[in-house]
Amino acid sequence: MSAAIWFRNDLRLVDNPAVAAALANCTKPLKAFYLVAPKQWQQHYWAPIKLDLLWRHLAQFKADLKLHDIELELLECPHWHQAPRVINDFCQTHQITDLYANAEYPLHEQQRDRAVENWLAEQHISLHMTHGQLIAAPTIRTKQGGIYQKFTPFHRAWREQIRVSGLPECPQIKLNEAATPAAIGACPLPTKSSEAWPVGEVATLALLDRYIENHVANYADERDLPGLDTTSRLSAYFELGIVGVVTAAKKLQQLSPQFPDGLEQGADIWLAELAWREFYQHLMAHVPRLSQGKAFQAHTDAFPWRTGEQAEADFARWCRGETGFPIVDAGMRQLNSTGWMHNRVRMIVASFLVKDLQLDWRWGERYFMENLIDGSFPANNGGWQWSASTGVDAVPYFRVFNPTSQSQKVDPDGRYIRTWIKELENCPSKYIHAPSEWLRANQNHDYPLPMVDHKQAREQFLEKFKAL
């Protein structure tokens, strides 16, 4: 039997069931490939910094795979509709009879995989799919046989599956020390430097170990405080599959013999965050409209979002971090500068865009994808629809974040604000969350006054949403 591995957003050896299956059913050396799809990446709004992280990791991953007698090829495939022919040509060239891959769940990826499977079947080549991106495959159902539309009951069922079945297991591969990165040429699309983010499986697993050892115990107390910067920042690695979510869960399992029960509060809440990630992946697998720019709650597609020149100008101010609300602007400037934003602040800036400015959540969803190093289509879509009250388990429409009180709650001393808004470096703590009075007194107009009256904007939004 001649086998190959099709790597996608699972660029690792540890806890990779597709790799394990290929190794179990054939002999080395193994062939492997990754589809370089610039047109598809553009269509999906991949951020330049995310592309840079991918490209740097591919160079390291190719070299590391070589140490395990796995030869990785980068195949040019601009768009997914070309994937069947490209993959078939690869299989014919190398006389591949069995191809192993881990499933992906958005609509375009499902369509691609069906087309590839059908094409290869005509050539008597088998495509073997496993669920290497999730702890629980998207088969969890309610007692009535439907999908869960609320996180809390999904979370209970997800944990129960872990209790009954345990975490997914596959033969473990011992990693070597990282090799010298391979030469793979330049990325076909413009990139933005991601040098602040290590690449390679050895380095990123070390990041996971350090987080579990040093920070997860305090996650419950510190996760909503962006000024501390103590969250794991592993989301970019989960997104590209450089670190497997099963590997992360196994680290937590070592903390409690009763896993998934018996964890300390910080670790237990961090496990729940992994469940949130899986919840959105499951939804994406079962609800095509989520991949088509539509709201889960169909009636909310009729909301009269603002349009026109003024709406576009207001959106541009939000993008630049010039709204006059410090916590919002700090978050947007962090994003624009680093390609990452603290998760709690993501909720605050999202609420401000859709409920204060009454601009379409899809504008914000796209902007995040265009700039986030950890841009995950399922999680990003789920988060934006949660904030806009249009999705599953959405925040009730009448709950509108007050950016000032949120700022006081999550950044009480203004540390985060001062880090990202240099105009407010010298602003006294008394005014840091609402600096208008201080700005007027100091005739300091470098930082803008609030672009909306929050109370009035909230009332307008509620009136429009109620009409739906």
List the CATH number of the domain containing 88: 3.40.50.620
Question: Residue 187: inside a domain, yes or no?
Answer: no
Task: Identify whether 276 is a catalytic site residue.
Answer: yes
Cα–Cα distance measured from residue 432 to residue 408, given in angstroms and rounded to the nearest whole number: 9
Cα–Cα distance measured from residue 93 to residue 76, given in angstroms and rounded to the nearest whole number: 15
Specify the pLDDT at position 444: 63
Question: Residue 175: inside a domain, yes or no?
Answer: no
Angle at 106 between CA 104 and CA 112, to 5 degrees: 70
Q: Do 15 and 115 have their domain in common?
A: yes
Q: Do 12 and 62 have their domain in common?
A: yes
Q: How many domains is the chain partitioned into structurally?
A: 3
Q: Under a CB-based contact definition with an 8 Å cutoff, are residues 342 and 231 in contact? A: yes
CATH number reported for the structural domain that contains residue 326 in this entry: 1.10.579.10
Residue with tokens 């169909």, as numbered in its chain: 298
Cα–Cα distance measured from residue 143 to residue 310, given in angstroms and rounded to the nearest whole number: 49
Q: Do 304 and 420 have their domain in common?
A: yes
Question: Residue 142: inside a domain, yes or no?
Answer: no
Cα–Cα distance measured from residue 411 to residue 414, given in angstroms and rounded to the nearest whole number: 5
Residue of 6, 46, 361, 420 marked catalytic: 361
* DSSP bridge partners of 129: 101
Residue 156 known to bind ligand: no
Q: Which domain-ending residue is among 243, 264, 286?
A: 286
| Non-local CB neighbours of 79 within 8 Å, separated by 6+ positions | 37, 39, 40, 43
Task: Identify whether 363 is a catalytic site residue.
Answer: no
Instruction: Lay out the sheet containing 126-130: strands in order across.
Output: 70-76, 30-36, 3-7, 98-102, 126-130
Q: Under a CB-based contact definition with an 8 Å cutoff, are residues 241 and 132 in contact? A: yes
Cα–Cα distance measured from residue 330 to residue 422, given in angstroms and rounded to the nearest whole number: 10
Residue 280 known to bind ligand: yes
DSSP letters, 351-408, are HIIIIIS---HHHHHHHHHHH-TT--HHHHHHHHHHHHT-STTPPPTT----HHHHHH
Residue with tokens 């669920």, as numbered in its chain: 131
Residue of 9, 119, 305, 438 marked catalytic: 305
Q: Do 281 and 321 have their domain in common?
A: no
- Token pair of 433 as six digits: 């969350």
DSSP letters, 278-334, are HHHHHHHHH-GGGGTT--SSGGGGG-----SHHHHHHHHHHHHT-SS-HHHHHHHHH
Specify the pLDDT at position 107: 94
Residue 273 known to bind ligand: yes
Q: Which domain-ending residue is among 286, 314, 344?
A: 286
| Non-local CB neighbours of 258 within 8 Å, separated by 6+ positions | none
**Backbone Cα Rg of the chain:** 23
Domain that holds residue 93: 3-130
Residue 270 known to bind ligand: yes
Q: Which domain-ending residue is among 286, 313, 341?
A: 286
Q: Under a CB-based contact definition with an 8 Å cutoff, are residues 367 and 447 in contact? A: no
| Non-local CB neighbours of 401 within 8 Å, separated by 6+ positions | 347, 348, 351, 352, 355
Residue 217 known to bind ligand: no
Surface-to-core class of residue 263, CB atoms within 10 Å of its CB (0-12 exposed, 13-18 middle, 19+ buried): buried
Q: Do 305 and 268 have their domain in common?
A: no
Residue 351 known to bind ligand: no
Q: Do 338 and 443 have their domain in common?
A: yes
Q: Do 120 and 219 have their domain in common?
A: no
Closest CA to 113 of 93, 123, 98, 128: 128
Question: Residue 322: inside a domain, yes or no?
Answer: yes
Q: Do 221 and 88 have their domain in common?
A: no
Residue of 343, 370, 423, 444 marked catalytic: 343
Q: Do 228 and 332 have their domain in common?
A: no
Question: Residue 453: inside a domain, yes or no?
Answer: yes
Q: Do 259 and 126 have their domain in common?
A: no
Task: Identify whether 384 is a catalytic site residue.
Answer: yes
Digits of tens for pLDDT over the chain (468 positions)? 689 999 999 999 999 999 999 999 887 789 999 999 999 999 999 999 999 999 999 999 999 999 999 999 999 999 999 999 999 999 999 999 999 999 999 999 999 999 999 999 999 999 999 999 999 999 999 999 999 999 999 999 999 999 999 999 998 898 988 889 999 999 999 999 999 999 999 999 999 999 999 999 999 999 999 999 899 999 999 999 999 999 999 999 999 999 999 999 999 999 999 999 999 999 999 999 999 999 999 999 999 999 999 999 999 999 999 999 999 999 999 999 999 999 999 999 999 999 999 999 999 999 999 999 999 999 999 999 999 999 998 778 888 999 999 999 999 999 999 999 999 999 999 999 999 999 988 876 789 999 999 999 999 999 999 998
Task: Give the containing element (helix H, strand E) for 49.
Answer: helix 48-66
Q: Under a CB-based contact definition with an 8 Å cutoff, are residues 343 and 363 in contact? A: no
Residue of 46, 197, 340, 384 marked catalytic: 384
Question: Residue 404: inside a domain, yes or no?
Answer: yes
Question: Please, what is the angle between helix 361-371 and helix 309-320, to 10°?
Answer: 40
Task: Identify whether 426 is a catalytic site residue.
Answer: no
Residue 169 known to bind ligand: no
Residue of 71, 273, 370, 423 marked catalytic: 273
Q: Do 215 and 124 have their domain in common?
A: no
Question: Residue 135: inside a domain, yes or no?
Answer: no
Closest CA to 201 of 251, 248, 235, 241: 241
Residue of 276, 322, 336, 444 marked catalytic: 276
> Up-side HSE of residue 328: CA atoms within 13 Å toward CB?
32
Residue 397 known to bind ligand: no
CATH number reported for the structural domain that contains residue 279 in this entry: 1.25.40.80
Residue 235 known to bind ligand: yes
Cis peptide before 396 (omega within 30 of 0): no
Question: Please, what is the angle between helix 343-351 and helix 403-410, to 10°?
Answer: 170
Closest CA to 244 of 150, 338, 173, 148: 173
SS3 state of residue 102? strand
Specify the pLDDT at position 179: 87
Question: Residue 429: inside a domain, yes or no?
Answer: yes
SS3 state of residue 467? helix
Closest CA to 86 of 94, 76, 96: 76
Q: Do 245 and 315 have their domain in common?
A: no
